[in-house]
Chain A
Amino acid sequence: MTSADISSGEVLTDEASGAVPTMLRGPATARKGPRRRRRVHSVTSEVVADIQDSDDDDSPRSVGRTTSAVVVEYTLATLTAVNLVVALRMLLDWGGLLSFVVLFLVSFICFHYALVRQSSTKELAADRMTTTLIWVIGALVVASLMWIFGFVALKGVKQLRPGFLVRDMRTAGPNTPGGGVLHSMVGSFEQVGIAAAFAIPVSILTAVYLHELEGRMARAIRFIVEGLAGLPSIVAGLLIFSIWPRYAGIHAAEALAILMIPTVTRTSEEILRTVPDSLREAALALGAPQWRVVTRVVLPTAKSGLLTASILGIARAIGETAPVLLTAFDSKFMNKNPLKEPQSSLPTFAYGNIRTQSVLQNDRAWAAALLLLLFVLVLFTMARWIGARGAKRLGRN
């Protein structure tokens, strides 16, 4: 039973003046007047769970209590915990911010449990505690992500002006303002673009070979791919540099492709695994040769998933620094030709500028970092959006 079911049931009840469907007539709902019941519409799934439980629970959890009492409990627990922590700190003069937070959370959860336990069953108290814990952990993860983003944004926004996006570093120096990151963006796009143009088709074909054809070499290839997935990125850079000891964007692309292929291949294989075998059988039974089964049924069905896999591969490649530094090095000038001469990219730009003593240079590094973060954010959002659309399209399958 979902919350939608319940609320629609309730709406009916209100209109039909009290003809409560038996299914819903738990002790909690049945005993309440219409005014109270009306409240059920607007409350969250937690309360809906309460109603469900109360169907077979002897000591009903009062629905009406939810809003006020729960708020009171949370406030009381918070206040007590804050008091305790502040008192401890004043008395003992001990600990930093982190221990303050941890102590606060632990004491909050304990006080809250005790408070809820006073008025309700053990189960409800444990339930509330678990809910609180999950919220806290989720909030911590989100907070640390927000902190990283906020930190980079704060530091990067100083230099991230429109002009920064359309100039290179030809005229600007460590102490002369102006200058920009255009040459690095061009470099990054060229390097990652070339790498993706090569790595994505290769990866998808490999995944098709591994999962659809299950060729004779499949085991060996899967082993190699899995081994490559653990390859430290610096090794990829060293490898390419030892083969072509000249700096050029194309060599960075080669190193990035080596890093992208295993990730994209493995993800793509997982995606192909989600295409039901019944579709392959249906296609074969219509008289399709296997390559048409792959091109007309499997790949179109997995399209959005494969696109997501590719985008995630690109997002991984765009932030790589070490292999790019070894193969394309860095440059102050615009170099649109990926085939020769050093070429800058966003990560190497950030690296080169953060290593100096100049405040201005450091700000530029942070601006490049922020830009990089924004690109990755956009890529991930795209991946999520495309993935969600694909899932919707697959529908009930």
Chain B
Amino acid sequence: MSFDQFEREVATQDPSLEDWNGLPPIVAAEPDSWSSGLIAREIAKVPVPSTQPMPGTSLGSGSPATLAATDVSAWFGSRKVLQRCSLRMEARQVTALIGPSGCGKSTFLRILNRMHEVIRVAKVAGSVELDGVDIYGRELSVTQVRMRIGMVFQKPNPFPAMSIRENVLAGLKLSGTKSTDRDALVEECLTRAGLWTEVKDRLNEGGMSLSGGQQQRLCIARSLAVRPRVLLMDEPCSALDPISTRVVEETIQQIADDITIVIVTHNMQQAQRVSHQCAFFLVEEQGVPGRIVEAGATDHLFNQPSDERTLAYVTGRFG
């Protein structure tokens, strides 16, 4: 992105930011009464703004959204790596993307929040709609899309120049969003990410002082702080030990009520544990782009898949 592009963005950003800011702050009335298990539910009860159902203007946060990709193809330079992939990622559902290495799962995921175009030679075709609004269209700017559709990366990447607290609030600072009660937000997000009890006494220490698993949960908290409607996770547990993995999985299940989740994983047990829907990606032969071979309910995909290659993959016979 160049600076002039970005200036255009700032120009278009303000009016809608207004209504984003105008939302009631998502803070429970009595912080004292919070207990960690209840918090996710508390948030679900926050009133949704009345402008919400109007398509095209429903840019605020508050409720999970359905993400629909239609005929998505992707290129790196002249090499096509994804071929006409269509997938609906339903609200309140966890969608898992599985498939062997190099079949384009990460590419697909990055297309869903316009991170694909960060790479210079990357190109994309097709459309992705967030509750009916094309994220590649004129209604939403790139930055607005990324605020609504957050992302957690494979390798934990907290900002080293910031403290734990600042890391959680980084999204607000970076997107120029104001928030009324920062302390409450920090506590809420860290609690939802399952990290609060471990770090509540050291919020001002550097983000890099945490262990790898804690760093990844900090990154999840950081993503939650901007109140995304969708959260994309690219192998979020691949660098973590089994216990941290379990904590992250519990976090996923907790936040799934409020945030649509799409997760890439190589771990079949994990896909079965956390996801409701599943999509199986595959490069059918050397040199052709990857495609979605089969998608549907996780139970169905793992127990009686319609495609024999899916069966072979989920039972560990290839890939």
Which residues on A are within 8 Å of B, measured CB to CB?
213, 215, 276, 278-279, 281-293, 296-297, 300-301, 303, 393-397
Q: Which of B3, B148, B157 contacts A290 (CB 8 A)?
A: B3
6 closest cross-chain pairs (CB), A and B:
A287-B147, A288-B174, A395-B208, A300-B161, A286-B171, A285-B151
The docked-state distance in angstroms from the alpha carbon of A303 to that of B160 is 11
Whether B174 and A286, one on each chain, are in contact in the complex, defined by CB atoms closer than 8 angstroms, is: yes
A278, B155: Cβ atoms under 8 Å?
Answer: yes
Flag if A278 contacts B144 (CB, 8 Å): no
The range of chain B's interface size is 35 or more
B157 and A281 within 8 A (CB): yes
**Residues from chain A with Cβ under 8 Å of B1 in the complex:** 289-290
Measured between beta carbons, the chain A residues less than 8 angstroms from B226 are: 286-287
B10 within 8 A of A: yes
Residues on B with beta carbons closer than 8 Å to the beta carbon of A396: 208
What is the minimal beta-carbon distance from A70 to any residue of chain B, in angstroms? 42
Q: CA A358 – CA B7 in complex, angstroms?
A: 65
* B28 contacts chain A at the CB level, 8 A cutoff: no
Do the beta carbons of A281 and B208 come within 8 Å of each other?
no
Q: Give the distance in Å from the alpha carbon of A101 to the alpha carbon of B111 in the complex.
A: 68
CB distance from B195 to the nearest CB of A (A): 17
Chain B interface residues (CB < 8 Å from chain A): 1-3, 6, 9-10, 113, 115, 118, 143-148, 150-151, 153, 155, 157, 159-162, 170-171, 173-176, 206, 208-209, 219, 222-223, 226
Asked if B161 contacts A287 (CB within 8 A), the reply is: no
- Which residues does chain A contribute within 8 Å of B153, judged by CB atoms? 278, 281-282, 285
User: A296-B173, A393-B160, A393-B206 are known contacts. Are A284 and B6 too (CB-CB below 8 A)?
Assistant: no
Residues in B neighbouring A279, C-beta threshold 8 A: 157, 159-160
Q: Are B174 and A296 in contact (CB under 8 A)?
A: yes
Q: A279 vs B158: C-alpha distance in the bound complex, in angstroms? A: 7
Q: Which of B161, B219, B226 has the most CB of A within 10 A?
A: B161
Smallest Cβ distance from A217 to chain B, in angstroms? 12
With A288-B143, A288-B174, A395-B208 given, can you name 15 additional A-B contacts, CB distance below 8 Å? A213-B3, A281-B118, A282-B153, A282-B159, A283-B170, A284-B118, A285-B151, A292-B175, A296-B173, A297-B170, A300-B159, A301-B160, A393-B161, A395-B160, A397-B208
* A395-B209 contact, Cβ under 8 Å, with A282-B159, A292-B174, A297-B161: yes
Q: Contacts of A284 on B, CB cut-off 8 Å?
A: 115, 118, 146
Measured between beta carbons, the chain B residues less than 8 angstroms from A283 are 159, 170, 174
Which residue of the partner chain B has the closest CB to A299? B161
Query: Are the C-beta atoms of B223 and A286 separated by less than 8 Å?
Result: yes
Known: A215-B2, A396-B208. A287 touches B157 (CB 8 A): no
Nearest A residue (CB) for B172: A286
Could you write out 16 A-B pairs with CB less than 8 Å apart?
A: A213-B3, A278-B155, A282-B159, A284-B115, A286-B170, A286-B223, A287-B174, A288-B146, A288-B174, A288-B175, A290-B6, A297-B161, A303-B161, A393-B161, A396-B208, A397-B160
Q: Are A285 and B2 in contact (CB under 8 A)?
A: no
Known: A297-B159, A395-B160. A286 touches B208 (CB 8 A): no
CB of B5, distance to nearest CB on chain A (Å):
9
**Contacts A291-B6, A395-B208, A396-B208; A286 near B161 (Cβ below 8 A):** no
CA A328 to CA B226, docked complex, whole Å: 56
- A291 near B160 with CB under 8 A, answer no
CA–CA, A291 to B226, complex, Å? 19
A397 to chain B, nearest CB (A): 5
B146 CB contacts on chain A under 8 angstroms: 284-288
Give the CA-CA distance A395 to B206 in the complex, in Å: 9
Given contacts A282-B157, A297-B161, contact A291 B3 (CB under 8 A): yes
